[in-house]
């Protein structure tokens, strides 16, 4: 562990943050994620394939819940005190999400306290925390008299001995083909030599200043749009049986167009893209999607109008025909919220992954989607991606976080 930039990924999901940290030269100690499906994806790609984690013998290499780890392994965690460079990750955000009903009493919000307890025990040198935009908004009924959760977390981490700075960041400004604004918080331990509040603030200015050079080195720019991301993945390119679900059809790669696709396809030799399984839409749905695409040519990336909803008897709250020439809106965990910009269908898992900047070698595990009561229990592939931090952004963050260590 000596002389390494080490971190622990809390609420790791399928590994979007860890992948970016891996690509920017960090070494993982372990990751905590309670979803079996999401952990399988992280395990397959980052533990088995990339050997990214120095997993301790005392911790089972499996899906785990943070409070279970705090209860069972507190003495082991205490031995890590001061030896870990960073704690990264943010608790699940459903209670704060703008996409659904915001609920301050959502039990998942209590995981914030578990996160802070973990920080207090391990005492990393720096903290990197991510959450949804709604995390910065006030809950009018809460006991703290309407103070936003972001302010409460800032106060608690400050009391725990960290200089902290939180800010809203749009990942779309950093080369990701999606308008996705998230709350990012960076903390630096006050006892570090030369640690100051300005150093915590510096993260955001350095991130902004460094993005042009970072993207240029990769042959990219911050304006990457949806067409740049997925125009080699058309259904019309041809179909083959899906390798892991032969009763479905998957798309084969089209001609590579542009540097973003080149980066995503680096090292790929297969003809069939992973997780590029097309949904089995009924003819009625296909015709409806075709009509909506024709009727919304001048209104893309917005929810369909009340008139169109009524015309096609659509009860769904969100149906957004996408715009090829723009970044997508924030993609959610529900793929049927969006219609492909050119083909009358929803997006595939691989197209979702491209929008979130996961490279094509990153293979997703578990079910593709789920519904009904299982929706609250399972984390299928679409959900894993919709919940992730884009690796292209976390790689840029990892590089700046490294520079903060050399205070």
Q: Which residues are catalytic?
A: 93
DSSP 168-217: EEEGGGGT-SB--EEEEEEEEETTSTT--HHHHHHHHHHHHHHHHHHHHH
Nearest CA to 381 among 266, 190, 287, 244? 244
Helices (H), 59-196: 66-72, 74-78, 111-122, 149-159
Degrees, nearest 5: CA angle 275-28-184: 80
CB 277 within 8 Å of CB 368: yes
CA separation for the pair 272, 42 (Å, rounded): 22
CA separation for the pair 54, 29 (Å, rounded): 5
Beta carbons within 10 angstroms of residue 80's beta carbon: 17
- Report CA dihedral (59, 65, 70, 76) to the nearest 10 degrees: 10
CA separation for the pair 260, 376 (Å, rounded): 34
CA separation for the pair 382, 350 (Å, rounded): 9
As a whole number of Å, the end-to-end CA separation of the chain is 20
Nearest CA to 328 among 253, 366, 385, 271? 385
282-294: burial string, b at 16+ Cβ within 10 Å, e else: eeeeeebbeebbe
């Amino acid at each position: 562990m000596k002389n390494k930039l080490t971190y622990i990924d809390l609420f790791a999901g399928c590994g979007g943050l860890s992948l970016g940290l891996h690509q920017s030269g960090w070494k993982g100690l372990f990751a905590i994620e309670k979803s079996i499906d999401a952990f399988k994806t992280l395990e397959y790609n980052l533990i088995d394939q990339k050997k990214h984690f120095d997993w301790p013998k005392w911790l089972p290499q499996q899906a785990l819940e943070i409070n279970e780890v705090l209860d069972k392994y507190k003495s082991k965690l205490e031995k890590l005190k001061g030896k870990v460079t960073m704690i990264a990750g943010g608790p699940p955000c459903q209670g704060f999400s703008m996409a659904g009903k915001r609920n301050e009493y959502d039990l998942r919000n209590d995981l914030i306290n578990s996160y802070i307890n973990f920080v207090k025990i391990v005492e990393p040198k720096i903290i990197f925390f991510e959450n949804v935009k709604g995390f910065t908004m006030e809950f009018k009924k809460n006991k703290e008299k309407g103070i936003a959760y972001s302010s409460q977390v800032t106060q608690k981490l400050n009391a725990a001995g960290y200089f902290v700075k939180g800010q809203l960041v749009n990942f779309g400004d950093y080369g990701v083909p999606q308008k996705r604004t998230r709350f990012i918080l960076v903390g630096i331990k006050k006892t570090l030599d030369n640690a100051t509040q300005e150093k915590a603030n510096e993260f955001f200015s350095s991130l902004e200043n460094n993005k042009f050079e970072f993207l240029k080195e990769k042959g990219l720019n911050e304006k990457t749009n949806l067409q740049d991301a997925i125009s080699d993945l058309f259904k019309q390119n041809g179909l083959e049986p899906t390798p892991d679900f032969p009763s479905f059809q998957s798309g084969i790669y089209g001609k590579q167009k542009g540097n973003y696709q080149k980066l995503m396809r680096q090292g790929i030799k297969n003809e069939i893209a992973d997780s590029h399984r097309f949904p089995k839409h009924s003819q009625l749905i296909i015709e409806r999607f075709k009509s909506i695409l024709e009727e919304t040519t001048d209104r893309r990336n917005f929810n369909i109008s009340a008139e169109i909803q009524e015309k096609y008897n659509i009860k769904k709250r969100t149906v957004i025909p996408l715009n090829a020439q723009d970044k997508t809106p924030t993609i959610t965990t529900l793929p049927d919220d969006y219609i492909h910009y050119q083909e009358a269908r929803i997006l595939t898992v691989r197209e979702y992954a491209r929008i979130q900047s996961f490279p094509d070698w990153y293979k997703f595990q578990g079910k593709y989607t789920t519904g009904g009561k299982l929706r609250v229990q399972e984390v299928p592939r679409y959900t894993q991606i919709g919940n992730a931090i884009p690796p292209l952004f976390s790689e840029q963050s990892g590089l700046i976080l490294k520079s903060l260590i050399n205070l």
